[in-house]
Structure 1
Amino acid sequence: MRALTYHGQGDVRVDTHPDPRIEKPTDAIIRITSTAICGSDLHLFDGFVPMMKAGDIIGHEPMGVVEEVGSAVKNIKKGDRVVVSFTISCGSCWFCEQTMYSLCDNSNPKPENAEKAMGHSPAGVYGYSHLLGGIPGGQAEYLRVPYADVGTIKIASDLPDEKVLFLSDIFPTGYMAAENAQIEDGDTVAIWGCGPVGQFAIQSAWMMGAGRVIAIDQVPERLALAKTHGKAETIDFSETDVLEKLKEMTGGRGPDRCIDAVGAESHAANQVTAAADDLKQTMHLQSDRPYVLQQAIMACRKGGTLSVPGVYAQNVTLPFGAAMNKGLTFKMGQTHVQRYLQPLLDKIEAGEIDPSFLITHTEPLENAPEMYKTFRDKKDGCIKVVLKP
């Protein structure tokens, strides 16, 4: 099969690999019909995530048609059309029973790597480093799906791929980000990052009763989408002091809820701060860029909540004294996708939301290396790329 393959920082190629096969009775093999490039894939591409190896197949936002199932698979069969959760979960460990699927005890086949780095291992994730299992990813023609009964949702309707594909990751991720923010009716919610997750966090914040949504970015196309489709007020951080603007917009109090939908590769408008972050990375004092997280802590009102769906790989420097003294609540983590699959599919089928609004580019898999650069560099108005194997 053809699959997008990691060859080092800034180097991904479409190579030929052996087709996946059933390895355990709970496995399924799907033929991928649509898959997407996620913003967190750019962290791999740019070398921010440790334990990537040359030859790894990447990608974690796939859907397709079931080609084969293991003997223990009961919920899906050959010919079914399914969306695959990016987090891999066994469904039977203590964490899965608590619906904390991204913390599954059993789906990372190499837990010792994560245990050494984090204290405990979270769930395995498709195509996202050997820290999270080294499991072949979904930017490919075929995918082996472990725990297939737990990690897929059947699409029984004739909804096109484009309307349901994002159930694999970014729609549940944006929704859980808003849920983690503990939004109450009338709250002012500030969201850093108007990329795909940020756009779904905007939509979800309204669903949860927000009174105002303020979206922060510097990319004109993303800000325009947040304003027109998301009905958000917007701040261009390249032109405005975000902290001062948020104080002005909230009468000095600050937003009630803040969401960091950027993660490890945030960019500082202040060039001194940006240079300092670059230096810390070069000297290995800091592996990620925490500028958004730092700013959100300073911006959030006293007693507010900070939700972090943005991916961080390793160490950051934070104004933790400010967080403690302001009494902030933090909620974060990889998404418990399986918890949200059916409820969010119901919203799509009911016409409450059409996730395809996000797609700006649809390309064959063979164009993936070029599209990674287009997406990373925010060229050609690129907000979301769907690949068609």
Structure 2
Amino acid sequence: MKAFVLAEPGKVKWFDAPEPQLVPYGAILKPVAVTPCSSDVHTVFGGGSKKQDNLVLGHECIAEVVSVGENVCDFKTGDRVAVPAITPDWREKSIQEGNDRHASAPFSGHQLGRTQPGVFSERFLIKDADTTLAHIPQKISEEQALMSVDVVTTGFTGAEYADIKIGDTVCVIGIGPIGLMAVAGAKLRGAARIIAVGTRPKCVQLAKYYGATDVLSYKEGDIVQQVKELTNGIGVDATIIAGGTAEVLTQAYDMTRYGIGTISNINYFGGTGYLPLPIFSGGRGMCGKTLHMELAKGGRARIERIMSMIEFGRVDPTPLVTHHLYGLDKVEEALYLMRDKPADLVKVMVHCE
């Protein structure tokens, strides 16, 4: 079958991949719509750990069930489902300890397009259908369902781990699609003031749409100083990092309040080396600031809850889809769009049917 794979670092190709083999708890699916993620861009162009030869890329997908294993209870051939980007093995013992995203090994929850074949192919396997696949409510559009599997849940993860309280002031650094959903999540959790940091005009427009009260540009001066000026020198109650290079962690510490402040990172830092923790704004080790470094929440229950938020009008991720392409073979073009980020792009949706 036709599959879009990582040929070698920095290079992709179309490949005649083997058909997936059905397992008792699993399902074979064909993609209805997919979207490349910035993580796919990092996998292809950003280096990192060695990947298996001809790894099928992709982890953001809605799909149709082709066949199910003998032990599958809740899904049948023909069902249209959302496929979570994060697919933990819910039978791992460590999940009973609450460690669903790193249960058997670091990043074990992030399997698709990383340690097992992803979704950019004519057919793909989900090993445990009942714990992974999510039913799409009838009122949910394909765009909304597709955005729920990664973008919305990741942005909301950032807001959840920021421990936002009613009336808080929050800064979201980076307003790509993930940051935009962090803005939306901060608003839903009760933030009074939401300061977004970003420059691309389309993203600035959407940040205001999703609840940002202020938008700052790093091109107009030091963002820490700008945040301090907006908050009378106090800083923000919570900072969500959704973009930037290593220095952004220092900036987040610098702008976050002593004693009760929380920093929630959902940003991917490429390469190796170290992330700097500032000594001064870290209170010389005693600042009372909490730091969370989190992979997005996934699994069936999570994505069905996300889609409930969409179904009942709490959030609408539809505006994130700014570009539409048609045909599975357009995945390559979509990947390069996500890498190059034209000014009017937020997310590109590839319709496979």
1:164 maps to 145
Q: Distance in 2 between matches of 1:232 and 1:40?
A: 29
1:319 maps to 277
Q: Distance in 2 between matches of 1:169 and 1:332?
A: 17
How has the CA–CA distance of structure 1 residues 123 and 344 changed in structure 2, closer, same or farther, with 3 Å as cutoff? Answer: closer
CA contact (8 A) 2:201 2:343 kept: no
2:117 maps to 136
Mapping for residues 1-389 of structure 1, pairs under 5 Å:
1-22=1-22, 24-97=23-96, 100-105=99-104, 111=105, 114=106, 122-128=108-114, 134-262=115-243, 266=244, 289-303=245-259, 304-312=261-269, 314-321=272-279, 322-323=281-282, 324-338=285-299, 339-363=301-325, 364-389=327-352
SS of the aligned residue for 1:179 comes to helix
1:276 maps to none
Q: Which amino acid aligns with 1:168?
A: V
Q: Distance in 1 between matches of 2:269 and 2:112?
A: 17
- Stretches (4+) displaced over 6 A: none
CA contact (8 A) 1:8 1:47 kept: no
1:113-171 alpha-carbon deviations (Å, 9 max, x no partner) = x5xxxxxx63342002xxxxx20011222220011111111124153211111221111
Q: Distance in 2 between matches of 1:100 and 1:162?
A: 30
What is the CA-CA distance between 1:319 and the residue it aligns to?
2.1
Q: Which amino acid aligns with 1:291?
A: E
How has the CA–CA distance of structure 1 residues 99 and 340 changed in structure 2, closer, same or farther, with 3 Å as cutoff? Answer: farther
Q: Distance in 1 between matches of 2:102 and 2:129?
A: 17
Which deviates further from its counterpart, 6-15 or 351-360? 6-15
If the length of structure 1 is used for normalisation, what is the TM-score? 0.83
If the length of structure 2 is used for normalisation, what is the TM-score? 0.91
What is the CA-CA distance between 1:42 and the residue it aligns to?
1.8
What is the CA-CA distance between 1:193 and the residue it aligns to?
0.9
Q: Distance in 2 between matches of 1:181 and 1:173?
A: 13
Q: Distance in 1 between matches of 2:322 and 2:65?
A: 27
CA contact (8 A) 1:35 1:61 kept: yes
SS of the aligned residue for 2:55 comes to coil
Q: Which amino acid aligns with 1:382?
A: L
Which deviates further from its counterpart, 64-73 or 328-337? 328-337
SS of the aligned residue for 2:219 comes to coil
CA contact (8 A) 2:88 2:298 kept: no
Q: Report sequence identity in percent.
A: 29
SS of the aligned residue for 1:44 comes to helix
What is the CA-CA distance between 1:78 and the residue it aligns to?
1.1
Identify unmatched segments of 5+ residues in structure 1: 106-110, 115-120, 129-133, 267-288
Compute the RMSD of aligned alpha carbons.
Answer: 2.0
1:2-38 alpha-carbon deviations (Å, 9 max, x no partner) = 222112333223333232221x211111111011111
Q: Distance in 2 between matches of 1:46 and 1:136?
A: 18
Q: Distance in 2 between matches of 1:375 and 1:295?
A: 26
SS of the aligned residue for 1:224 comes to helix
Q: Distance in 1 between matches of 2:40 and 2:211?
A: 24
CA contact (8 A) 1:30 1:68 kept: yes
